[in-house]
């Protein structure tokens, strides 16, 4: 059955479809593969929740055929599978990639229905091992319409507020859990060393300590006290290891017609440097209960792709750090080990210590390749048993065998007022005041005529960036939220005039002009940038606004520090708002003085694109603003002094 046939239906027809599926499974079960010891399976001793988890895992493992074990190690994207496929492939996991939303309306209810149908497919297999469903909920459950979208991690890093990060991730977990999804590919604990990288915004900042602290805070928020507690999800720190250290120009990946520059490239760093810069966030995550780690697409200078690197995946992560959860590969990341030889790639990846493969589509090829490798003795059976033990352990810890699906019907906890209030606070804490002039901020709420320009002032898609509704993100009001324009209009009423392109009708002048200049959404290497330029059309609005107002505040929405040519010198104040998400009232709160500016930049702001690489540089070398820089509304320094 094509997947669309199942998901396009209206929710109320789901029940009857499920009934039909169950019958189909029951019929198919008669012809299923032989079970090793049918008598023992009927005892199902692993279902005894009173037994220690290790015993339950061992009891179940002892019943599994090689096919069933390899199935557990396989993760397929929703676009390539349906419930019958989950059953025949004996899958351990299904994911939604960046574009893997349910067919039909993108609602919590339809997400739940989609996951539930796949789960029923898994439960209809001989051993009824539940699947674990995963998504990239990287700034809230961003692919779900109507969810609370938080600032991307760059903004959360600017808050330097671990308690707030934990709270935001708590909200993310609850909103995900309502959709039936129990695994997020987050937190991203990369430590980006070159802001030209398209994934800079996914990182909390450029210092190992900040990332380590905030990554653990998010993990605790997602996982709660116990993985089997209500409203929790399992976290997945990523991408191990060195993803933020790749050299400019070292990537060989092409995607969507774009040649990547840094993303998926090579770390030209010795092991000691790699370890010092990038390992501590994983160490801290493991100490705080991390159960899943995703490997990075990047390569080391002498070890090749991390996906095939036994030193890093097994010796360091599993043995040195004592990680007892499982390692998942990234999207077709195994294929990159040797692009000309899939068998060799799978062999190397599994032997290196990858436990689950994000295939993402051709499960038949992955499963048959791995099976042949095992039968030839190229991948030891003990390695398979170890991988499956790790995967099952996490599933037992999560309580999936007792509760394969969380309760349904909790749609109201998605995008609630209370959750959005936390995001609004995060937006206010994340924005960084880079420049100001005396008396300008905050803007008086009454009696000030404000002219507002820039598409980003009234566009939730731009404000949210990549990984929102779709992989790359897109401009447009793609999900409910409050734009800066709406928030300011609420406060200023008729004193606010908005024109996206600053075409104010003849004679309109204001006291203060606010211009939003914004990068347009991107994700991963598609967003690698050699120039760090803002769209010229946005920058031109600053000059266009200049003669109409006494003072100009420029709000920069971007996934990283960008070049401020055409802005610095023309603006009286500059606010780095990063990618704030759906609750831009947080920005209005700052501009109008309801909250103080407290954010400081989590990345050095380079003078030129060539100054972007930070490894080996001092704080102010090639920098406009150093790490930790930011002002309060009166222009006082919050943390680190400006560069000379």
- Catalytically active residues are 330, 524
330 near ligand BGC, rule: CB under 6 A:
yes
Structure tokens at 93: 């996991």
8 near ligand BGC, rule: CB under 6 A:
no
# chain residues binding ligand BGC, by CB under 6 A: 12
The SS3 assignment for 294 reads strand
The neighbour count for residue 579, using CB atoms within 10 Å, is 30
118 Cβ partners below 8 Å, 6+ apart? 78, 81, 82, 83, 86, 94, 131, 133
528 near ligand BGC, rule: CB under 6 A:
no
**CA–CA separation, 226 and 180 (whole Å):** 17
How far, in Å, are 244, 269, 310, 311, 319 from residue 300 at the CA level? 12, 7, 12, 11, 20
Query: What burial letters (b/e) apply to 534-572, b meaning 16+ CB within 10 Å?
Result: beeebbebbebbeebbebbbbbbbbbbbbbbebbeebbb
252 near ligand BGC, rule: CB under 6 A:
no
Q: State which of residues 112, 185, 260, 603 lies at the interface with ligand BGC (CB under 6 A).
A: 185
The neighbour count for residue 217, using CB atoms within 10 Å, is 24
Best CA proximity match to 151, nearest among 432, 383, 495: 432
- Of residues 206-245, those binding ligand BGC (CB under 6 A): 238-239
**CA–CA separation, 250 and 299 (whole Å):** 10
Distance, CA of 619 to chain centre: 28
Structure tokens at 623: 């920098």
Structure tokens at 224: 């709660």
Cβ closest to ligand BGC, residue 354 vs residue 453: 354
Segment interacting with ligand BGC, rule: CB under 6 A, options 9-17, 80-88, 97-105, 567-575: 97-105
Cβ closest to ligand BGC, residue 235 vs residue 620: 235
Segment interacting with ligand BGC, rule: CB under 6 A, options 96-104, 455-463, 484-492, 536-544: 96-104
136 near ligand BGC, rule: CB under 6 A:
yes
Segment interacting with ligand BGC, rule: CB under 6 A, options 94-102, 397-405, 436-444, 575-583: 94-102
Cβ closest to ligand BGC, residue 336 vs residue 455: 336
CB of 226 vs ligand BGC, minimal distance in Å: 25
Cβ closest to ligand BGC, residue 143 vs residue 383: 143
How far, in Å, are 49, 171, 175, 479 from residue 406 at the CA level? 17, 16, 12, 25
254 near ligand BGC, rule: CB under 6 A:
no
**Beta-strand pair 74-77/93-95:** parallel
Cβ closest to ligand BGC, residue 331 vs residue 629: 331
CB of 99 vs ligand BGC, minimal distance in Å: 4
Q: State which of residues 7, 201, 471, 522 lies at the interface with ligand BGC (CB under 6 A).
A: 471
99 near ligand BGC, rule: CB under 6 A:
yes
Segment interacting with ligand BGC, rule: CB under 6 A, options 15-23, 93-101, 452-460, 539-547: 93-101
Q: State which of residues 4, 16, 255, 437 lies at the interface with ligand BGC (CB under 6 A).
A: 255
Best CA proximity match to 294, nearest among 215, 180, 232: 215
Segment interacting with ligand BGC, rule: CB under 6 A, options 95-103, 373-381, 383-391, 499-507: 95-103
Cβ closest to ligand BGC, residue 98 vs residue 265: 98
183, 133 Cβ separation under 8 angstroms: yes
User: Backbone phi, then psi, for 114, in 5-degree steps?
Assistant: -65, -50
Cβ closest to ligand BGC, residue 111 vs residue 504: 111
183, 236 Cβ separation under 8 angstroms: yes
Query: Which residues are near ligand BGC by CB under 6 A?
Result: 97-99, 136, 185, 238-239, 255, 330-331, 471, 524
């Amino acid at each position: 059955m094509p997947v669309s046939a199942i998901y396009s239906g209206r929710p109320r027809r789901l029940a009857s479809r499920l009934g039909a599926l169950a019958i189909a499974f029951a019929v198919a079960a008669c012809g299923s593969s032989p079970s090793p010891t049918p008598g023992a399976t009927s005892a199902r001793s692993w279902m005894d929740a009173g037994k220690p988890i290790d015993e339950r895992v061992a009891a179940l493992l002892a019943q599994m055929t090689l096919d069933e074990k390899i199935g557990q190690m396989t993760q397929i994207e929703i676009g390539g599978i349906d419930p019958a496929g989950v059953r025949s492939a004996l899958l351990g996991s299904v994911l939604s990639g960046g574009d893997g939303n349910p067919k039909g309306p993108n609602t919590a209810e339809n997400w739940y229905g989609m996951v539930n149908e796949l789960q029923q497919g898994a439960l209809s297999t001989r051993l009824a091992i539940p699947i674990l469903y995963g998504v990239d909920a990287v700034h809230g459950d961003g692919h779900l319409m109507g969810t609370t979208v938080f600032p991307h991690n760059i903004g959360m890093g600017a808050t330097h507020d671990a308690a707030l990060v934990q709270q935001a991730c708590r909200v993310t977990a609850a909103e995900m859990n309502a959709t039936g999804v129990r695994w997020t590919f987050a937190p991203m604990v990369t430590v980006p060393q070159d802001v030209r990288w398209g994934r800079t915004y996914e990182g909390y900042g450029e210092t190992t300590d900040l990332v380590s602290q905030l990554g653990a805070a998010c993990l605790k928020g997602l996982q709660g006290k116990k993985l089997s507690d209500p409203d929790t999800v399992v976290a997945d720190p990523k991408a191990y290891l060195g993803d933020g250290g790749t050299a400019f120009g070292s990537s060989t990946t092409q995607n969507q017609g774009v040649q990547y520059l840094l993303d998926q490239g090579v770390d030209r760093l010795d092991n000691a440097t790699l370890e010092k810069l990038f390992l501590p966030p994983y160490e801290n995550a493991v100490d705080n209960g991390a159960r899943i780690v995703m490997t990075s697409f990047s390569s080391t200078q002498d070890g090749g792709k991390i996906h095939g690197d036994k030193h890093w995946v097994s010796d360091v992560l599993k043995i040195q750090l004592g990680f007892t959860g499982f390692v998942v590969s990234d999207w077709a990341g195994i294929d990159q080990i040797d692009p000309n030889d899939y068998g060799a790639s799978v062999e190397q990846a599994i032997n290196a210590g990858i436990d689950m493969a994000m295939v993402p589509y051709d499960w038949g090829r992955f499963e048959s390749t791995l099976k042949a490798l095992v039968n030839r003795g190229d991948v030891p059976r003990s390695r398979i048993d170890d991988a499956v033990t790790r995967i099952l352990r996490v599933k037992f810890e999560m309580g999936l065998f007792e509760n394969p699906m969380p309760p349904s019907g909790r749609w109201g906890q998605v995008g609630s007022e209370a959750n959005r209030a936390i995001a609004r606070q995060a937006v206010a804490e994340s924005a960084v005041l880079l420049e100001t002039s005396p008396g300008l901020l905050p803007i008086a709420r009454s009696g000030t005529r404000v002219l507002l320009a820039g598409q980003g002032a009234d566009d939730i898609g731009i404000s949210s960036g990549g990984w929102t509704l779709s992989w790359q993100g897109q401009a447009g009001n793609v999900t409910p939220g409050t734009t800066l324009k709406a928030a300011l209009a609420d406060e200023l009423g008729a004193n606010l005039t908005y024109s996206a392109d600053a075409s104010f009708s003849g004679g309109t002048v204001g006291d203060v002009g606010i211009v939003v200049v914004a990068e347009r959404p991107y994700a991963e290497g598609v967003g690698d940038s050699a120039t760090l330029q803002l769209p010229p059309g946005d920058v031109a609005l600053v000059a266009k606004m200049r003669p109409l107002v006494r003072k100009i505040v420029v709000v920069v929405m971007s996934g990283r520090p960008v070049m401020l040519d055409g802005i610095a010198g023309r603006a009286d104040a500059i606010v780095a708002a990063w990618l704030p998400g759906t609750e831009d009232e947080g920005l209005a709160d700052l501009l109008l003085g309801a909250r103080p500016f407290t954010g400081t930049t989590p990345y050095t702001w380079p003078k030129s694109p060539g100054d972007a690489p930070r490894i080996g540089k001092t704080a102010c070398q090639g920098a406009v603003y150093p790490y930790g820089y930011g002002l309060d509304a009166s222009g006082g320094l919050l943390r680190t002094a400006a560069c000379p």
